[in-house]
Structure 1
């Protein structure tokens, strides 16, 4: 099976070497993180790293806050998932 590691803020404070080794050993398929923190070019070049771009959602949250609207609809993705699935 495939194993995906996820972290909202992938800081990798101790470097990438342990992840490189674990990936080469087949211990995981990919690490998914966001662009909500700095991702170095060295990290972005890793074949095992996938960066989820949340810029659009952050802009929606900021706009909602500036307009005194609730952010709840933005945080609940059930409707969007059902729409994508055609239900």
Structure 2
């Protein structure tokens, strides 16, 4: 039996800021992971490509406010930093 992916442990090295900010990034990263997992069946960020995160930002957040999309963009940048990828995202 395999353990579920631990997003908190994955992001531990790149999370900074207040407790509330870190919790927001973790919550949003888990939501991104769940959506990508449901749509493409990629369980962990190690398997993701840039297109998966762009799909989430463009299609799953299209009805959210500009502020919400901005905060998810910050979380996506944290994920890219943790993966050591040079992905760039536009708002």
Q: Normalising by the residue count of structure 2, what TM-score does the alignment of the two structures yield?
A: 0.28
Higher RCO structure (Cα 8 Å, ≥6 apart): 2
Bigger proportion of residues as helix: 2
Q: As a proportion of its length, which structure holds more strand?
A: 1
